[in-house]
Amino acid sequence: MDYMDRGLRYTPTTGKDWENSVQFLPASDNKKLEKKKGPGKVGAVIGVVVLAAVIALMTGLLVWHFHFRKNVRVKRMYSGSMRITNQVFEDAYENSNSSEFQELARQVTTQLKTIYSKSPQLSKYYVDSTVQAFSEGSVIVYYLSEFSIPAGQEAAVDNAMSSMNKLSRTLPRPGDSLVIQDVVSSVLDSRMLSTSFSRYLRHSVHTKPNYIDQIQSPGFPNSPYPPNTFIQWQLRAEPGYIIKLYFDTMNLEKNCKNDFIRIYDSLVAIESRVMEELCGYFSPSEPLTFVSSGNVMLVTMATNDQKNYPGFRAQVSQIKRGSRETTCGGLLTGERGLLSSPSFPNFYPPSMSCQWSIEVPAGKVVKLTFLKFLLSEPGQENSRDCRKDYVEVDGKKLCGEKPDGTMTETSSTNKMSVKFFSDTSYVDRGFNAVFEAIDMADPCPNQFQCKSQSCIKSELRCDGWDDCGDLSDEQNCQCKPESIKCNNGMCKPKFWKCDGVDDCGDGTDEIGCGGCKSGELTCKNNKCVSEKKHCDGIDDCGDGSDELNCARNTEIQCNELTYRCKNNKCISKVNPECDGTDDCGDGSDEQDCNCGRSMFTRSRIVGGQDAEVGEFPWQVSLHVKSFGHVCGASIISPTWLVTAAHCVQDDGRTRFSEPGTWEVYLGLHIQRKIDSHVVKRNLKRVIPHPNYNHYTYDNDIALMELDSPVTYSEYIRPVCLPAPQHDFPSSSTVWITGWGATREGGSAATVLQKAQVRIINHSVCNDLMSGQITSRMLCAGVLTGGVDACQGDSGGPLSSPSGNRMFLAGVVSWGDGCARRNKPGIYTTVTQFRGWIKEKTGV
């Protein structure tokens, strides 16, 4: 579209053209002009009029500012709750139409008016209050109070309202009919007062023991939720019970400013009782369960006029207060044991306080290792002051977030005290930890103790890898002859020397490599040229690499590193495809860009390496009929898949090269769970690369044509194919996915697995793999071991993020075992086969 418009755009013309377009007055007009020489009388009159108008306008503005602006009033709503101690709860108070509700509500509003009248700040601006609900205990009332405040005075009223919260202790006052305690109020979130709401809905659910109720957004699951709507669900349980809210689906717009859900530990939207705000998409594999502190909970949902998503569905049930699921603390004894926050790995309830006393055999000390630690909330982003939710170990407060829990605490005696505290607002998933009895004199028997006090195998010390996570195993090292000695005291494996990556952190491993001096640029062919030659329009490197990524995205001479546009021009920008900018000028670098995106928004994940549903919608499971999953593949178009050639080689028993052998599952997440998102297809054609070498795995790539096209959905989408020149630099992070074995020689995964690995320098990889790496192969992995593709992942994607898309960097091909130290996974380099893919598939 952009490119069609181009012809209509304004293009600056030369000075000459301007001259041509100037119109000179005809000579006959000259006389009229002569009569109007100088400003003259008319000019003076116009000047006076304009001046008067300006003065009048300014005076008006000043009068408005000093007089009327004071009268510009702002509507401000406060939500609150308070306990009425001299009343007993009646069932009729649950029904806002009952006469009992209305009578008590009348008394409450009268009393609120009296309370506000005692504060000069509040009485002046108070408009009205409405009671929203009552709940047990004696009676708790939830209300909204409206104020009309002159602009600029809001803070003063907020202060007066918050001092009311403190006043509650001095209540009751003489003459009050209701005895009031525990007043909590705060200003209502302004998004809930949006004037754009056209619909307000309110639902009440009173759960029963041993029964599960369901709440959902309007239209779910058949249609998207409605725009401009504000909905509340007031949830109640019996006294002595608490509410459990479990979301099985949560799919809202990503931006919480537009559409959001808020959950409160209250029956009215009080800011200091908000438990969580949710928007975007949450995978069903991520537990999203909340529990209240009392027998009420409020769920609110607000939507605006744009982008309406499928919505949410949640199950509401009640659990007895004090049940195992919601209690915590106690005495823990023995050599070893576990402890966790209440409801872990679900969100802990607000207003919780627990205390554990750990006691191990005399003469030993307690070592507590956190496996997961998630205690963050707005206002407590850094883990220093811990004024909100925290864990306290022998008096030391811990808070914030450590998703992979590398935290260890050790006691000085055989006893340890652990406390957990959650305040009234914002909850998180909490923690789980293991305690062990250790010998203080030898806290890590036959192992190395990290600074963090965790223990690692002794042979990992000074091996070049940060096994402790705090580098303490790599400091003050005596380097072995086969490693590089960094100036900062670390040792690094020799094969990292001169690989272009600063592994020491102080550059030592890249010194004396015959590389380029400072002020010089290293060309792709390792030649050195002055930095000044970068983007000077001349190919100083000889391979064109000094003319790449120039600020002016100039057209340059084509070579193997430059991106070639449809119009055969070459541009200097690296990886210009589908980045949202028309770099070619003919739109060709932004064509065919419906690829590489998933609906998934990353959110915190507890446990495992399961992928999220729809996170890698191009991932395909290739099944051999009546056997099951054998290989992975990637969707590149509605009819074509890319896989590995070694997946489609016949063996003595199975004709893997025959299309009829296979059935293909698209949109699959869990093996054998064929839900409505999954599409099954047969194959029409299998095209292995003609140069595939089954001894060396060179050219390990194949194409598969489906018997009929698939319709794209949130679960089925193509990955982006990289241009032949696409650069996947060493050290960049890429994703591997598949249902392959979860350890070498192990069994296949049921849920689609994902892992992050890094691209490894080609020559380093070739050294590690004894010279077996051809230019059609790419290496990726984590050289410390432990993360890798494995049997059954073959043919699947190596997905590389670029902007907000994923490109197919590689196809899982082979490796020396799985996840071994210094043995990366080997992938087929897709860029090398871009032309072949185009030739065979047209994609």
Query: Which residue's entry shows tokens 């094969």?
Result: 495
Residue 785 or residue 801: which is nearer to ligand 4AZ going by CB?
785
Which of 815, 829, 830, 837 binds ligand 4AZ (CB under 6 A)? It is: 815
Establish whether 700 is a catalytic residue.
yes
User: In this structure, are strands 753-760 and 777-781 parallel, antiparallel, or unpaired?
Assistant: antiparallel
Least Å distance, CB 430 to ligand 4AZ, is 35
Q: In sequence order, which residues have a C-beta less than 8 Å from that of residue 680 and are 6 or more positions away? A: 663, 664, 665, 666, 674
C-alpha–C-alpha distance, residues 610 and 207, integer Å: 33
Q: Any contact of residue 812 with ligand 4AZ (CB under 6 A)? A: yes
Least Å distance, CB 647 to ligand 4AZ, is 8
Q: Any contact of residue 185 with ligand 4AZ (CB under 6 A)? A: no
Q: In sequence order, which residues have a C-beta less than 8 Å from that of residue 755 and are 6 or more positions away? A: 609, 735, 736, 737, 787, 788
Establish whether 646 is a catalytic residue.
yes
Asked if residue 742 lies in contact with residue 801, where contact means CB atoms within 8 angstroms, the answer is no
**Closest residue to ligand 4AZ: CB criterion:** 815
Least Å distance, CB 784 to ligand 4AZ, is 14
Q: Choose one: 85-93, 300-308, 581-589, 812-820; the region binding ligand 4AZ (CB under 6 A).
A: 812-820
Which of 541, 790, 830, 837 binds ligand 4AZ (CB under 6 A)? It is: 790
Could you list the beta-strand ranges (E) of 700-829. 702-706, 733-738, 753-760, 777-781, 797-802, 805-815, 825-829
Least Å distance, CB 709 to ligand 4AZ, is 28
In the set 700, 788, 799, 800, the catalytic residue is 700
Residue 126 or residue 728: which is nearer to ligand 4AZ going by CB?
728
Establish whether 794 is a catalytic residue.
yes
Cα 490–496–499 angle (5° rounding)? 130
Q: Any contact of residue 814 with ligand 4AZ (CB under 6 A)? A: yes
C-alpha–C-alpha distance, residues 510 and 517, integer Å: 11
Residue 646 CA to chain centroid, in angstroms? 36
Q: Any contact of residue 261 with ligand 4AZ (CB under 6 A)? A: no
Q: Choose one: 145-153, 186-194, 770-778, 807-815; the region binding ligand 4AZ (CB under 6 A).
A: 807-815
Q: Any contact of residue 700 with ligand 4AZ (CB under 6 A)? A: no
Beta bridge partners of 288: none
Q: Choose one: 17-25, 412-420, 724-732, 809-817; the region binding ligand 4AZ (CB under 6 A).
A: 809-817
Q: Any contact of residue 818 with ligand 4AZ (CB under 6 A)? A: yes
In the set 272, 794, 802, 813, the catalytic residue is 794
Residue 469 or residue 785: which is nearer to ligand 4AZ going by CB?
785
Residue 737 or residue 791: which is nearer to ligand 4AZ going by CB?
791
Least Å distance, CB 797 to ligand 4AZ, is 13
Least Å distance, CB 626 to ligand 4AZ, is 21
Q: Any contact of residue 825 with ligand 4AZ (CB under 6 A)? A: yes
Asked if residue 79 lies in contact with residue 144, where contact means CB atoms within 8 angstroms, the answer is yes
Residue 126 or residue 814: which is nearer to ligand 4AZ going by CB?
814
Q: Any contact of residue 503 with ligand 4AZ (CB under 6 A)? A: no
C-alpha–C-alpha distance, residues 142 and 188, integer Å: 13
Positive or negative CA dihedral for 420, 263, 96, 204?
negative
Q: Tokens for 837, please give them.
A: 């893919």
Other residues' Cβ atoms within 10 Å of the Cβ of residue 202: 13
Least Å distance, CB 384 to ligand 4AZ, is 42
Least Å distance, CB 461 to ligand 4AZ, is 26
Nearest to 242 by CA among 218, 195, 275, 269: 275
Could you tell me how many residues of this chain bind ligand 4AZ (CB under 6 A)?
Answer: 11
Q: Any contact of residue 793 with ligand 4AZ (CB under 6 A)? A: yes
Look at residue 330 and give its three-state secondary structure.
Answer: strand
Residue 400 or residue 815: which is nearer to ligand 4AZ going by CB?
815
Residue 523 or residue 819: which is nearer to ligand 4AZ going by CB?
819
Residue 492 or residue 689: which is nearer to ligand 4AZ going by CB?
689
Write the DSSP assignment of 679-692 as a string of letters. EEE-EEEEEE-TT-
C-alpha–C-alpha distance, residues 743 and 786, integer Å: 9
Q: Tokens for 138, please give them.
A: 């004696």
Which of 789, 808, 811, 837 binds ligand 4AZ (CB under 6 A)? It is: 789
Interface positions, 649-688, toward ligand 4AZ (CB under 6 A) = none
Given 3-state DSSP classes, what are the helix, strand and coil percentages for the chain, each rounded to the nearest 5? 20, 35, 50
Residue 269 or residue 769: which is nearer to ligand 4AZ going by CB?
769
Q: Choose one: 492-500, 653-661, 811-819, 834-842; the region binding ligand 4AZ (CB under 6 A).
A: 811-819
Whole-angstrom CA distances from 66 to 54, 155, 389, 471 are 18, 20, 46, 63
Q: Any contact of residue 794 with ligand 4AZ (CB under 6 A)? A: yes
Other residues' Cβ atoms within 10 Å of the Cβ of residue 567: 11
Q: Any contact of residue 737 with ligand 4AZ (CB under 6 A)? A: no
Least Å distance, CB 763 to ligand 4AZ, is 20
DSSP 8-state class, residue 610: B
Look at residue 44 and give its three-state secondary structure.
Answer: helix
End-to-end CA distance of the chain: 21
Q: In sequence order, which residues have a C-beta less than 8 Å from that of residue 600 and are 6 or more positions away? A: 281, 283, 612, 613, 614, 615
Q: Choose one: 166-174, 299-307, 438-446, 787-795; the region binding ligand 4AZ (CB under 6 A).
A: 787-795
Look at residue 32 and give its three-state secondary structure.
Answer: helix
Nearest to 272 by CA among 194, 167, 165, 195: 165
Asked if residue 613 lies in contact with residue 283, where contact means CB atoms within 8 angstroms, the answer is yes
Q: Any contact of residue 788 with ligand 4AZ (CB under 6 A)? A: yes
Q: Choose one: 159-167, 417-425, 666-674, 813-821; the region binding ligand 4AZ (CB under 6 A).
A: 813-821
Asked if residue 580 lies in contact with residue 724, where contact means CB atoms within 8 angstroms, the answer is no
Residue 508 or residue 794: which is nearer to ligand 4AZ going by CB?
794
Q: Any contact of residue 135 with ligand 4AZ (CB under 6 A)? A: no
In the set 376, 509, 598, 646, the catalytic residue is 646
Longest dimension (CA), the chain: 116
Asked if residue 429 lies in contact with residue 445, where contact means CB atoms within 8 angstroms, the answer is no
Q: Choose one: 220-228, 475-483, 677-685, 789-797; the region binding ligand 4AZ (CB under 6 A).
A: 789-797
Least Å distance, CB 815 to ligand 4AZ, is 3
Active site residues: 646, 700, 794
The contact set with ligand 4AZ (CB under 6 A) reads 788-791, 793-794, 812, 814-815, 818, 825
